A = this chain, B = another copy of it.
Amino acid sequence: MPDEDRLKQIVEAALLAAGRPLALDQLQALFEVREQPEKKQLREALAMLSEAYQGRGIEVAEVGSGFRIQVRAEFTPWVSKLWAERPPKYSRALLETLALIAYRQPITRGEIEDIRGVSVSTNIVKTLTEREWVRVVGHRDVPGKPALYVTTKEFLDYFNLKGLNELPTLAEIRDLDSINRELELVDPETESQPKPASHESE
Binding site for B on A (CB under 8 A): 5, 8-14, 16-19, 22-23, 25-26, 28-31, 33-34, 36, 55-58, 65, 69, 71-72, 75, 78-79, 81-82, 152-153, 157-158, 160, 190, 192-197, 200, 202
Contact = CB atoms under 8 A, between A and B. Distances in A.
A190 to B, nearest CB: 8
Nearest to A29: B194
7 contacts: A13-B78, A14-B82, A16-B58, A16-B71, A26-B82, A26-B195, A26-B200
A63 B11 CA distance: 25
Contacts of A193: 33
Of A18, A79, A82, A158, most buried by chain B (CB within 10 Å of CB) is A82
Task: Give how many copies assemble into the complex.
Answer: 2
Main secondary structure, interface of A, reads: helix
B57 A16 contact: yes
A83 to B, nearest CB: 9
